[in-house]
Amino acid sequence: MRKQLTLMVLLLVLAMLAAACTGGATTTTAGTTKGTTTAGPTSGTTAAPAMYPWHEEGVVLKLVRNVDVDITRAGITSYAEAPGFKAWQEQTGITIDITETADDTALKLMLSSGDLPDIIVATRTFYAGGQLKMAEDGLAIPLTDEFANLAPDFWSFITSDPIYFDSLKQADGEIYCFQGFFLKDSPYRSWRGMMVRQDFLDQVDLDPPTTIDEFTAMLRAFKDQLDVETPLMSFSSNFPRMLSDGNLTAAFGLPNSIGYQVDGVYHFGAYEPAYKEALTYLNMLYNEGLMDKNFAVTDEPTAQSSVMEGKTGAIYAAASRILNMTSAVNDGVFKLTGLPPFTKNKGEVAICGMTDPVMVSTASWLTEDCQNIPAACAFLNYLYTEPGNLLYNFGIEGESFEYVDGKPKFTELMTKNPDGYSLDPMIRKYGILNFSGVQDLGMSAQRPALPAPGTDRRLCRLVQPYGRQVHDRQQRDCRRLHERRSDALDRY
């Protein structure tokens, strides 16, 4: 594989030199680069003008990913219809034959058939066994030694700071994917937490709670005074995150339910005594009817509908859902507000809260059956160039954004959409946000996702995947945590 890649790189360089000598490849990068807001991922590089549009005509690559639920909320059903995805192909000169599967199960079933695409786009943890197992199964190839030549802008970004480069290296020292990133100092790495109906708080004359006792009193007030059916809602995929993010466990002195370090010593949260306290608290909410009885199976649309219909007062979700739900109701009364990570005592600073690593969830891999490795790398590399980063974050100039004072600003098509679509799905329709790129602070500042309050940096979370066994026990113990089961949990 490495010999094949080296030969392809050599042929690519010779082709580009020949084209340059004959005047056949002197085009510049598609799109505009003026007014880039924050420090871009490729500031000062010169690779983009030589690479785009791609020097080979008629290149078609096969790409497989899951259906993006967000774009379906913007009036389309596939990325094949998305203006931003079309612009990506036009600006690179590379055509993409995209297949979108229903979910990770369907994606893995398709990949197991043996008919592999050129490119896989998915969450970086979608495959059991991780990226090394993907490589073993032919779903990913190592590109560490090739990025500098085949994807120079991506390489420039990940080598600009060890935090990016080290986050990508696998146990064998290789890098297998193009990864999406937050800038390391971005406040928008905190984007998920507890949110509450502010109009309900006003009705029961309560301030937004900051302690766990205030939160409990709020839920009881919603149930007793407003007859709210399910005061706290957390759909199935987000329920474990109340514990793994640390927003709830912080009140019990536990940074999170997965992994963290103190003075260089690693701790597994679900093994700590405080974890039992957090589960006992959730069990109390469950028994009092303050929490969704079907939390293990409730999906996100059902949970959001419950909030919008007044059946729920608080929900744990992504901050962007504040605008999504508020725009959907739009009655002048409905109002949501975010809550900080809870503390035990009033006035304390939470020891931890939800903060993402610099990597966002989306990654892109080339499979062993990739028919044109240089072209596939060039296509994915484009989102790390200045014009590609602009497309990734803001979309298309004159349609989804325009320049104001030299900086890109979303148009009213995005912020006051005539069809009622909210900003978050529209960014994915006109931009490329659910692929692998670098999120711009100027884009994030225009989204309705407010960062969570600062956390105590002495307890820095080490993000580790928690096992299915822990997840299953969370569900059982939140339902049934009587004395006998409490002893069993201690033994566990």
User: Residue 63 has what pLDDT?
Assistant: 99
- 199: nearest Cα among 338, 314, 336, 340: 336
Per-residue pLDDT, averaged over 371-381, amounts to: 98
CATH 3.40.190.10 holds for 2-12+42-185+358-446: yes
Q: HEC profile for 39-85?
A: CCCCCCCCHHHHHCCCCCCCCEEEEEEECCHHHHCCCCCCHHHCHHH
Q: Are 438 and 392 in contact (CB under 8 A)?
A: yes
pLDDT-based confidence at residue 461 (cuts at 50, 70, 90): very low
pLDDT of 5 higher than 50: no
Q: Sign of the C-alpha dihedral, residues 12, 13, 15, 16? A: positive
Per-residue pLDDT, averaged over 222-230, amounts to: 98
- 199: nearest Cα among 285, 308, 328, 302: 308
- Where are the CATH 3.40.190.10 domain residues in the chain? 2-12+42-185+358-446, 191-354+462-491
Angle at 87 between CA 363 and CA 28, to 5 degrees: 100
CATH superfamily of 191-354+462-491: Periplasmic binding protein-like II (3.40.190.10)
The answer, as to whether pTM is greater than 0.85, is no
User: Residue 258 has what pLDDT?
Assistant: 82
Give CA–CA dist 221/204, Å, rounded. 7
Q: Are 466 and 240 in contact (CB under 8 A)?
A: yes
User: Residue 39 has what pLDDT?
Assistant: 39
Least-confidence region, from 47-51, 186-190, 271-275, 466-470: 466-470
pLDDT of 450 higher than 50: no
pLDDT-based confidence at residue 486 (cuts at 50, 70, 90): low
pLDDT of 8 higher than 90: no
pLDDT of 301 higher than 70: yes
pLDDT-based confidence at residue 479 (cuts at 50, 70, 90): low
Greatest mean pLDDT among 122-131, 374-383, 443-452, 468-477: 374-383
pLDDT of 122 higher than 60: yes
pLDDT of 25 higher than 60: no
Per-residue pLDDT, averaged over 171-197, amounts to: 88
The CA distances from residue 89 to 29, 177, 248, 422, 424, in Å, are: 13, 20, 43, 25, 22
% helix, strand, coil for the chain, step of 5: 40, 15, 40
What is the average pLDDT score of the chain?
83
Give CA–CA dist 457/244, Å, rounded. 17
Token pair recorded at residue 433: 């946000």
Per-residue pLDDT, averaged over 250-274, amounts to: 87
Give CA–CA dist 86/59, Å, rounded. 15
**Type of residue at 98:** I
pLDDT-based confidence at residue 12 (cuts at 50, 70, 90): very low
User: Residue 477 has what pLDDT?
Assistant: 52
Run of H or E residues at 486? helix 483-491
Q: Are 341 and 209 in contact (CB under 8 A)?
A: no
